[in-house]
Amino acid sequence: MSRTTLNLLDLREGRIRTLHLAWFAFFLSFMIWFNHAPLIAFIRESLGLSDAQIKALLTLNVALTIPARVVIGMLIDRFGPRAVYTGLLVAGSFFCFVFSAARTFEQLALARFALGFVGAGFVIGIRLVSEWFPAREVGLAEGIYGGWGNFGSAAAAMTLPSIALFFGGDQGWRLATALTGVIALVYAGFFHRHVRNTPKGSTYFKPKRSGGLEVTSRRDFFFYVAMNVPMYLALGVLTWKLSSEEIGLLSPGSGAVVAAGLLGLFVFQVSQIHRVNREMLSEGVPEIYRYSFKQVAILDVAYFATFGSELAVVSMLPLFFLETFDGLDPVQAGLLASGFAFMNLVARPGGGWLSDRFGRRRTLQILIIGLAAGYLVLSQVGGTWPLALAVAATMGCSFFVQAGEGAVFALVPLIQRRMTGQIAGMTGAYGNVGAVSYLTVLSFVDYSTFFLVIAASAAFVFAALFHLEEPRGHMAEVHEDGSVELIEVA
């Protein structure tokens, strides 16, 4: 099969133009999601926040993203990425304005919690890009989308503090965060006007029912239900942390109410999953329409270790450098740590390209081995190391982490196209579950043990990847009129 090279400068080509429009939408969603992080010092001084309140804001920022990615995945498959991305950017801009106008910690906390929903923007473009690129190129295209868009958080760190300093005082951080909202609002209109869900003449396949993934066997039904449990456990851990004496945002009684609500929500979701799959459970599914949910589960745990560890490490790395090496100030430590996120520009597209070129399973296995080795090296970093060598080890590890993310999402669109949004949403949510899990471990152990735990979890993922099936041939998709189309996946 011939392979083509993407000319990213040819904006006359519809798929290239759509790719650029998609990654910039993701870029803005990440800039909004993390616009508070580089401004924490300004916000703390402006409102007199305590260390515990700052930790609460950081925790709240990722709390809603876990269920949001699942919900957004369902909305994409139902209404299409064009409408959903537009709505997400508009909603994100509104909550940016609310956050920038907050006068109390409670107002800040509520707005930050709501902004966690914007973190689900990533999964929208996964479906959009998969509609425009063939299977042999989708890995590289998804890698460019994810890697360049993910740079939005680094761009916020590089630009927003300067804007806040320029305006100064209490108004500086407010204007900086509000500006990201203005840009997102303007771009939402531009995106809606210039993006189509599919190329002309192509069909946008939709699930038969919304509310949960359609599975194709009884075994997969119970497997799917079980794979939802860790997401609710992660939300339970977040509730526990917010109810702790250190943070105290939730009283013990309120925490119990939230926990009961999570249990009720899980029961409701199981009922929805059963409703969606009731016909399959009673009548079965013809062989031509079947897919293995095992594929989804393996990608979930792979993203748990890759993106989950990235979110966790990015959160703690500045403090790690500050406490490990003498003579650094917080600004220097932050700049050194930024190298981890900076690698997204090349590593994530590189992982997608490798997956297209050398096979999905083999590429993921090699990258997971590299990830484990990278974290083993980081576990040995100490104050006696040359600083340049420690930074090099960090960036080397980050390459395998982010390339692994690209390789995961090179495969996501090839499982079942009409449910790509939901599959991407569940996989993305597992990345946040990983972040919560690893950061919870960090609260009990030292830095060296933290890195060793990540490396150990990568060993489990590597073993699981032996059960990942390389996509071959075609998948069957059903048109609204009932006719069947075979979609190439290899």
pLDDT in tens, 118-173: 988 988 998 899 889 887 788 888 889 988 888 888 788 778 888 888 888 788 89
Q: pLDDT tens, 234-255?
A: 889 888 877 877 666 777 888 8
How far is Cα 326 from Cα 262, in angstroms, rounded to an integer? 44
| HSE-CB for 75 with a 13 A CA cutoff | 19
Tokens describing residue 17: 């133009």
Tokens describing residue 177: 């965060």
Structural domain spans, the chain: 14-488
How far is Cα 308 from Cα 289, in angstroms, rounded to an integer? 32
Percent of the chain with pLDDT over 90: 41
How far is Cα 465 from Cα 363, in angstroms, rounded to an integer? 10
Tokens describing residue 426: 């569940």
Segment 105-110 shows an average pLDDT of 89
Quote the pLDDT of residue 2: 41
- Residue 28's pLDDT band, with cuts at 50, 70 and 90, is very high
Quote the pLDDT of residue 219: 93
How far is Cα 482 from Cα 477, in angstroms, rounded to an integer? 10
Segment 197-226 shows an average pLDDT of 86
The arrangement of secondary structure in 14-488, i.e. its CATH architecture, is Up-down Bundle (1.20)
- DSSP structure string for 174-243: HHHHHHHHHHHHHHHHHHHHH--SS-TT------SSSSS---SSHHHHHHHHHHHHHHHHHHHHHHHHHT
- Residue 475's pLDDT band, with cuts at 50, 70 and 90, is low
Of residues 287 and 14, more confidently modeled? 14
Percent of the chain with pLDDT over 70: 93
Segment 466-480 shows an average pLDDT of 67
Determine if the pTM surpasses 0.85: no
In the predicted model, is pLDDT for residue 386 greater than 80? Answer: yes
Percent of the chain that is helix, strand, coil (3-state, to 5): 75, 0, 20
* Cβ contacts of 397 within 8 Å, gap of 6 or more: 340, 371, 374, 375, 377, 378
Question: In angstroms, what CA-CA distances link 348 with 223, 353, 469?
Answer: 29, 9, 22
Nearest one of 4, 5, 33, 6 to 18, comparing CA atoms? 6
Segment 219-235 shows an average pLDDT of 93
Using the Cα atoms of residue 231, residue 237, residue 240 and residue 241 in order, give the sign of their dihedral. Answer: negative
Segment 184-196 shows an average pLDDT of 96
CA angle 312, 149, 434 (to 5 degrees): 25
Nearest one of 332, 241, 224, 321 to 280, comparing CA atoms? 224
Q: pLDDT tens, 433-454?
A: 998 888 888 878 899 999 999 9
In the predicted model, is pLDDT for residue 9 greater than 50? Answer: yes
Nearest one of 108, 104, 87 to 29, comparing CA atoms? 87
Averaged pLDDT score across all residues of the chain: 86
In the predicted model, is pLDDT for residue 256 greater than 60? Answer: yes
